[in-house]
Structure 1
Amino acid sequence: MLGVLPAQLPWWVAGPGVGLCVLALYGLANLRLGVSGAWLAATVAPVERWRGDRWRVVFLVGLIAGALLAALLGPPVSIHRYGQLSVLLSPPLLVPVLLVAGVLLGYGSRWAGGCTSGHGLAGCPAGSPDSWAATVTFFAVAVVVTLGLHALTGGAL
């Protein structure tokens, strides 16, 4: 698009930037940053007739608007295949797999009381034992599933 922004920020800019956002929200407003809470407040709360926090909806809108702005100001966006899974599965098989995975992730996020980013980036630094347990569980399951898929597919995944 306009090419004003780089394709990717260096880790030493992006990492501290996210950390400062988490710290500012927690230090100034005693609130924890997390995307699943924002998603629930914006989508599930109205359907289930409970009132989500307004700041979470604003955060989600800002997150989406920021991504669109970065796409506009950054280098041209190109859509690539979905990694190695696209090589192994045709689109008619890939779409249902991704849909089921997304639903399971959403259900797990709600069940765990937050998503991986919320627990790992906001809950753990705040010293929440629940967030530590959830984050360790997320990573342990990810390692086991990755090793299992690697073994089942003969190294293709």
Structure 2
Amino acid sequence: MNNPLARKSWSPYLVGAGIGVLSWFAFWSADHPLGITTAFEHTAALAMESALPTLAESNSYYQDESPKIGWEWMLVVGIFVGSMISSFASGDREPITVPPLWKSRFGSSVPLRLAGALLSAGLMMFGARLAQGCTSGHGISGNLQLAASSWLFSLIFFSTAILTAHLVFGRRTSNV
């Protein structure tokens, strides 16, 4: 029998069901939805609190929210560790710094690719905090709860992602 952990890709239905079960477990055990951007927000708040304690005391964020390194960070670590285990188990360890699609559009500059990735990640984090939730928070947990705001977020997120990819990379006319 073929080892399912050694496959380079899994059935999206199986993965979706697994994420659903994980979400149920998160609600059952922590009474909290899945989401990871809060971990980064709390880490930044803790860094600010340690660097500028007087500013933190006067900031209402610290009175409304108690930043901590909590279970959300365990989810971030789990995603990282799980990805590493998956890449080793499947043998999918191609060290590509500049993907072919990026190279065909913007060239093979590694610094440009890394700057683009960092800027994109920063914009996504800003958007996630502006929307008060990330794609996992809204797109998984919120949609599972049938929250109208999460369905709207998902519609806008996917539409914006498709439009952005089309604007950045153009129409794909060749096999890159």
If the TM-score is normalised by the length of the shorter chain, which range does it land in? Answer: 0.7 to 0.9
Unaligned runs of 5+ in 1: none
Deviations 1:76-113 (A, max 9, x none): 51123424122221314333222221211111111111
Amino acid at match of 2:12: W
Count of residues in correspondence between the two structures:
152
TM-score (norm 2): 0.71
Check whether the contact 2:5–2:86 (CA below 8 A) recurs between aligned residues: no
Q: Which moved more, 1:120-129 or 1:65-74?
A: 65-74
Q: What is the aligned partner in structure 2 of residue 20 from structure 1?
A: 21
The 5-angstrom pairing of residues 144-155 of structure 1 reads 144-149=163-168, 153=170
The answer to whether the Cα contact below 8 Å between 1:38 and 1:59 also exists between their aligned partners in 2 is no
Cα distance between partner residues in 1 of 2:155 and 2:171: 27
Aligned partners of 1:149 and 1:4: how far apart in 2? Answer: 34
Query: Is the CA contact 1:4–1:75 (under 8 Å) kept in the aligned structure 2?
Result: no
Deviations 1:112-155 (A, max 9, x none): 111112211111221323222222211222233344446xx465
2:45–2:67 contact (8 Å) kept in structure 1: yes
Q: Does 1:118 align with 2:140?
A: no
Q: Secondary structure at the match of 1:124?
A: helix
Q: 1:44 is matched by which residue type in structure 2?
A: A
TM-score w.r.t. length of structure 1: 0.78
Structure 2 residue aligned with 1:100: 119
Which is greater in Rg?
2
* Structure 1 residue 48 displacement after superposition: 3.0
2:89 alignment partner in structure 1: 73
Query: Would the alpha carbon gap of residues 123 and 83 (structure 1) be closer, same or farther in structure 2, given more than 3 Å must change?
Result: farther
Structure 1 residue 156, shift from structure 2 partner: 6.0
Counterpart selection for 2:77 from 57, 61, 64: 61
